[in-house]
Amino acid sequence: MPKILSVRALRVIQADDVPLYSFYLRGDEILKVAQISQIKRGAEGELLGYQRGEVKKHVDEIADYLDSGEVIFPNSILLAMSSDVNFKQSRGPKVGHGDCQAGVLEIPLTSGDTKAAWIVDGQQRTLALSKAKRSKFPVPITAFVTDDFEVHRSQFLLVNKVKPLSGAIINELLPTVNTRLPSSLSKRLIPATICELMNRSPESPFQGLIIQQTTDRKINKKAVVVAKSLIDVITKSLNGPNGCLYQYRNIATGDTDGDAIVRALNLFWAEVKETFPTAWGLPSTKSRLMHGAGIRAMGVVMDRVMANVHVDDKKSQSQIRSHLDRLKPHCAWTQGTWDIIDGRPWNAIQNLNRDVKILENALVRAYTQAPTV
């Protein structure tokens, strides 16, 4: 039988029978009951966890503050707790508006990856509390109980929506969340999900090439395309009436034909790979095609080319190839100079909005002016 940590707590039920508790723990008790579920990939490529890594400078600053004297620490730590916890209601009437119950919350004390709780918000504060000399400092805790890990992730995204959570981690977490999201996040869900599919599908020319938050660059040398670049291309094409992916959205119902979008993307970028084989799959320092500027600029070309191609047509591949062949003589992805950009060296194109716009305009101009091959 595991040891039990008992704390006085208040319980309310907000929705769908998910209990919400408020109580206090000492600073040195939090990591005894809760673990930090850091974002990473499993052996099969599945997404695990959701937390960022430790920000050492931030943690040290909080620890120094806690040890500086008489301090106030009102910010609560948000925990997701498993159904292994047990609440014993105290005798007496309900307090407040009648929906708040006082009692004792019993939390099992276990070790390793089997702890009874996970930290949803307050990771850096928790680490600071564990390092501070004032280990007995009382800390306010808010906790909800559910065994659904997807709810943990969705709450993590919602809590961090107005905090400096990196776009990379949001983009990688979004495809794993099915709960309702604010419009600012839901608009990013489809592009992020499609990017995830493109990275994992054997049919995708981008399989394994996309750099995500969880990509270990020391181990995975194959990944060369920053996810945000491809997500930007998908987002722009989906939302702009001139985008080739716009046709797959039903504005009236809000439905999106994800399968058709993936087919269109696979079709176009597979032909890009075939047209520029020596530039495909190289690090961005050796190929501007794999660079953020190249991906984004070719996304604009995609909208032009695919507007003239029917995805399910048997001749679609040869049609796309003939369009791209019109660009081929003018592209300096890996060496030489860009004759369509005043002789600029091939690697002088940077992932800056100004440079991207210059490259976009130059490629489109070369495409429209070149004779049909």
Is 298 or 310 the better-scoring residue by pLDDT?
A: 298
Q: Give 270-307 as a DSSP string.
A: HHHHHHSTTTTTS-TTT-TTSSHHHHHHHHHHHHHHHT
- As a whole number of angstroms, the distance between CA 286 and CA 346 comes to 10
In this predicted structure, what is the pLDDT of residue 58? 67
Residue 241 identity: P
Instruction: With a cut of 70, say whether residue 137 has pLDDT above it.
Output: yes
CA distance 302 to 328: 14
Interatomic CA distance for residues 300 and 361, integer angstroms = 9
Structure-model confidence comparison of residues 269 and 314, the more confident one? 269
Residues β-bridged to residue 138: 26
- In terms of Cα–Cα distance, which of 229, 172, 179 is closest to 47? 172
- Lowest average pLDDT, out of 16-30, 66-80, 130-144, 150-164, goes to 150-164
- The pTM assigned to this predicted structure is 0.62
Q: Which one, of 43, 199, 55, lies nearest residue 131 by Cα?
A: 55
> What's residue 347's pLDDT?
95
Q: Using the predicted structure, report yes or no on whether residue 50 has a pLDDT greater than 60.
A: no
Instruction: Judge residue 90's burial from the number of C-beta atoms within 10 Å of its C-beta, 0-12 exposed, 13-18 middle, 19 or more buried.
Output: exposed
Q: Please check the confidence at residue 112 and state whether its pLDDT lies above 70.
A: no
Predicted pLDDT at 322: 92
Higher-pLDDT residue of 175 and 211 is 211
Does residue 179 surpass a pLDDT of 90?
A: no
Q: Indicate the average pLDDT of the chain.
A: 84
What confidence tens digit (pLDDT) does each residue in 328-372 have?
A: 999 999 999 999 999 999 999 999 999 999 999 999 999 988 766
Confidence class for position 203, pLDDT limits 50, 70, 90: very high
Band the pLDDT of 313: cuts 50, 70, 90.
confident
Average pLDDT over residues 138-154: 82
Which run of H or E residues covers position 191?
A: helix 183-200
**What does the DSSP assignment read for 30-61?**
HHHHEE--B-EE-TTS-EE--BPPP-HHHHHH
User: From its phi and psi, is residue 281 left (phi > 0), alpha (psi between -120 and 50) or beta?
Assistant: left
What pLDDT, on a 0 to 100 scale, did the predictor assign at position 73? 79
- How far does CA 310 lie from the centroid of its chain? 32
Query: Is 80 exceeded by the pLDDT of residue 163?
Result: no
Indicate the SS3 state at residue 106. Answer: strand
Cα–Cα distance measured from residue 194 to residue 206, given in angstroms and rounded to the nearest whole number: 11
Q: Confidence class of residue 46 from pLDDT cuts 50, 70 and 90?
A: low
Q: Element (H or E) spanning 367, and its range? A: helix 353-369
pLDDT higher for 228 or 39?
228
Closest CA to 170 of 254, 43, 52: 52
In the three-class reduction of DSSP (H, G, I as helix; E, B as strand; rest coil), residue 108 is classed as strand
Residue carrying structure tokens 């945000």: 228
Instruction: State which H helix or E strand residue 152 sits in.
Output: helix 149-159
Q: Out of 17-26, 45-54, 101-110, 341-350, which region has the weakest mean confidence (pLDDT)?
A: 45-54
pLDDT in tens, 224-248: 999 999 999 999 999 988 999 999 8
Per residue in 70-90, pLDDT (tens digit) is 777 788 888 888 888 999 998
Window from 22-31, 130-139, 153-162, 175-184 with minimum mean pLDDT: 175-184
pLDDT reported for residue 176: 64
Per-residue pLDDT band for 57 (boundaries 50, 70, 90) equals confident
- pLDDT for 294 equals 96
Q: Evaluate if residue 268 carries a pLDDT over 90.
A: yes
Amino acid found at 353: N
d(CA 115, CA 94): 30
Tell me: pLDDT of 161 over 70.
no
Instruction: Give the residue carrying structure tokens 């000492």.
Output: 26
Contacts of 111 (CB under 8 A, 6+ apart): none
- pLDDT top residue among 301 and 161: 301
Counting residues of the chain whose pLDDT is more than 70, the rounded percentage is 81
Is residue 180 predicted with pLDDT exceeding 70?
Answer: no
Radius of gyration (C-alpha) of the chain in whole angstroms: 26
pLDDT greater than 90 at residue 170 = no
Mean pLDDT confidence for 216-220: 80
